[in-house]
Structure 1
Amino acid sequence: MKQLILISLLFIFSLPAVGQINIDTCQSKAKANYPLIKEYELIAKSTEYTLSNANKAYLPHISITGIGGYIIGGLPTVSGPGQLGNEPSKFQLIGIGQINQTIWDGGATRSQKDIAKASAEVEKASVDVSLYSIQERVNQIYFGILLIDAQLKQLEILTENLNLNLKKVKLSKENGLAYQTDVDEVKAEVLNVEQKKIEFYYTRKGYVEMLSLLIGEKLNDYVKLETPLISNSAENMNNNRPELNLYANQLKLAEAQSSMNKVNNMPKIGLLGAGILLEPGIAFGASDFNSLAVVGLSASWNTDGIFRSSNNKNLDKIRMEKITNQQETFLFNNKLELNQASSAIEKQKAIITKDDEIIRLKTAIKKGYLTKYDAGMCSMNDVINAVNKESEALSNRDLHNIQLLMSLYDHKTINGN
């Protein structure tokens, strides 16, 4: 059964890659799949309704009031000379209608629209910040899979070398130049390598499943990921982090809100129409008074805001200073992260410069041990160790290259590019 499992896994690893995907596609799909993406549409609809409400400020405002009741004390009557006044009805109905048409509201409508637009931009920028974290998660999983692929590639090369040695030692045993223990040592090492392949395979499978969940698309377990192409230089990049756009929009919103202080201190001018209906009317001698209509200009001025104007200005100033302080704090921390990422890049570059020389030496050592084994001057265990050391050196080179690429991408992501 164990042999059947190993043969099946070997067949799986020998299969060609099914499908291919790159990191940019993964990031785009992950953002589109994230539930928060729906916020953009909701913000747009909310802003549309808010602006529509603000535009209706200049529509006529109509109010109608009706009052009906029993007059306890009665209403006075006026009669002409020699005439008796009629006793007014104890039941009275009073109707009051009023219509107001705003001519100038001191800029309130314009300020409300500016605040609505600025608020929408702040909300969208906040969504951008939240979605940007998805990019970092995609990077971690994507490069994790690439690291596993690099390890599996070297394990395949190691398996080939061990199988060649296994054939060689079997032939030597048949000719009486080697022992069964030599054959068993190589077989045991082949099984160790196959065991590592199994571990890497299931780890990769879990990473692919996580990537599938992020992008909202089922990926085949053997999907091939393209290695990203990126410049080895991380310098001269503009900082395009979405947080900076958020702070800029928050300042615009604070400025729009501060404009309301001035608007609240301005008078409001409009047209006024009012009518009064009395039923039954009030008798004034030979005539009755039962209706009245008034048309003219209206002006109102609330001076309460004038006394608070100074404090409100100071509060607006403090609000803007807080936003600026948050921006400076973010840039400070961001700079620390960029310096750390730059140090990681330089470290990886320095390590990689030694990899080729190490590989050259480990390969020469392995060949030397193979020659010694043929001459009976060392054991098969020494040969296996030398083969493993060479494989480790090759694996480290691939690992360091992927780590450098990952560090470059981290720097790019931290800088918002």
Structure 2
Amino acid sequence: MKYSVIYITLLLSFSAFAQEQLSLEDCYQLVDKNYPLAKQQSLLENQNAYDLEAIKTQALPQLSLAAQATYQSEVTQVPIPNMGIEPLNKDQYRATATINQLIYNGNRIEASLNAQKTNLKTQQKQVEVSLYQLKKQVNQIYFSILLLQEKNALLEAKQEQLTTRIKEVKSGIEYGTVLPASDKVLEAELIKIQQQLLDNNYNKNSLFETLSLLTGSDLNPKISLENPELTAPLQAGISRPELELFQLKKEQIQANEQLLSKNNYPKLSGFATGGYGNPGLNMLDNSFQGFYTVGLQLNWKVFDWNSNKKERQSLLVKNDIIDTETEVFNLKTNMELRQQESDMQKINELIATDNQIIKLRQGVLKAAESQLKNGVITASAYITELTNLFEDETNLKTHTIQLLLVKANYNITKGQ
């Protein structure tokens, strides 16, 4: 029982810890799952299922009903006297039911089904592309929050240093080794740090609200964002869903071209019509009669003024347009990748110089701390050196987060 309680406690602790961490990949997955546009995937499948069923009904028997009542100014008469043939009524009635069954139409139904399935794949890929393009927006917000977290950590470290210095300075004032009011200068700087922390927290809360809307999740601003380890993609080519979309559009054109080609095939169907009316099929019988007819019907559009041919040529032009769009997309993507590679190289060099500057600043600040403690320099001079180090450390953190952002965008641009 004791071990069970310990296990449960550890499990609850782990769950609570897990909820306090959020990774960049978690944000991507939340967007793919919860963003309103993601619902279109299942909606498109439902719509496609109805469309496919509607197309399949073309192969089923088609029943139609018709009824009419007419009054004619003249009726057919037999111009032979004394034949005992009663003339037709001028008011005539007819009700019919007709069943048509498709026998052959050049596999046009199969072509329509194929075109509809290709259309579904294209629409779903378009949704995927739209969701994929949100990732850079997620990157911008995520790394902005991460930078604020890093700045807060630096401010808290600076706050701790100042608190220690204030205690030392007050002790020096008490023993006459430090100028009076030096502690007030440090305390004023401490209040400035509190202002900066407050401003950062408001900005972070605002960014978390935006990220919550994007991911469709109620994210607590106290959640700690993980610092991702990002590397450049290994593959040489571009692997973006947009390229798959272009290919699916071309397949859609091919499916529509095959469907158009079926329009010139003859259409053969059988029919059966049953009816009741006055007159029936026997025009000489002036009474209500039942009747029926059965037969075959062939429809073949032999000449359409090259309409079908022109529509197919239009599809070929559209295919060339998609090739052009693909070429433009690859060109723009490669240009963006080259710029991002240049940015990564530049930021890496800046980080190297940041580390050199910080190392020098730390030595200067260490000397300033000793001088302040012994009353050699003023508190203002110490704050200047402390602020210089803080700004340089902030530059390092900023460049580090910028490098991560560029790497994350590079992976998205590449399609990693």
TM-score category by the smaller chain?
0.7 to 0.9
1:358 equivalent in structure 2: 357
Q: Distance in 1 between matches of 2:382 and 2:24?
A: 41
Correspondence list, 1:166-205, <5 A: 166-205=166-205
1:225 equivalent in structure 2: 225
1:10 equivalent in structure 2: none
- The Cα offsets for residues 292-332 of structure 1, whole Å up to 9 and x where unpaired, read as 54433322101234623432232111111112212222222
1:346 is displaced (CA, Å) by 1.3
TM-score by length of 1: 0.87
Distance 1:191 1:295, change over 3 A: same
Correspondence list, 1:16-415, <5 A: 19-77=20-78, 83-231=83-231, 233-234=232-233, 236=235, 238-275=237-274, 277-280=276-279, 282=282, 293-305=292-304, 307-373=306-372, 377-415=376-414
* Partner SS for 1:195: helix
Distance 1:83 1:317, change over 3 A: closer
Q: Distance in 2 between matches of 1:368 and 1:84?
A: 137
Distance 1:165 1:108, change over 3 A: same
2:115 touches 2:259 (CA, 8 Å); kept in 1?
no
* Partner SS for 2:92: strand
Runs of 4+ in 1 over 6 A off after TM superposition: none
1:11 equivalent in structure 2: none
1:289 is displaced (CA, Å) by 11
Q: Structure 1 unaligned segments of length 5 or more: list them.
A: 1-15
Counterpart AA for 1:395: T
- The Cα offsets for residues 336-365 of structure 1, whole Å up to 9 and x where unpaired, read as 222222122111111112222222111111
1:57 is displaced (CA, Å) by 1.0
Q: Structure 2 unaligned segments of length 5 or more: list them.
A: 1-16
Q: Distance in 2 between matches of 1:114 and 1:130?
A: 25
* Partner SS for 1:67: strand
1:18 touches 1:222 (CA, 8 Å); kept in 2?
no
Q: Distance in 1 between matches of 2:70 and 2:323?
A: 61
1:275 is displaced (CA, Å) by 4.8
Q: 24-33 or 90-99, which moves further after superposition?
A: 90-99
Query: How many residue pairs were aligned?
Result: 399
* Partner SS for 1:92: strand
* Partner SS for 2:386: helix
1:234 touches 1:408 (CA, 8 Å); kept in 2?
no
1:69 is displaced (CA, Å) by 2.5
2:6 equivalent in structure 1: none
Q: Distance in 1 between matches of 2:292 and 2:110?
A: 33
RMSD, aligned α-carbons: 2.8
- The Cα offsets for residues 11-47 of structure 1, whole Å up to 9 and x where unpaired, read as xxxxx99822222222222332222222112211111
1:8 equivalent in structure 2: none
TM-score by length of 2: 0.87
- The Cα offsets for residues 164-194 of structure 1, whole Å up to 9 and x where unpaired, read as 2222222221111111132222222222222
Provide the identity percentage.
Answer: 26
1:200 is displaced (CA, Å) by 1.0
1:104 touches 1:268 (CA, 8 Å); kept in 2?
yes
Distance 1:291 1:355, change over 3 A: same
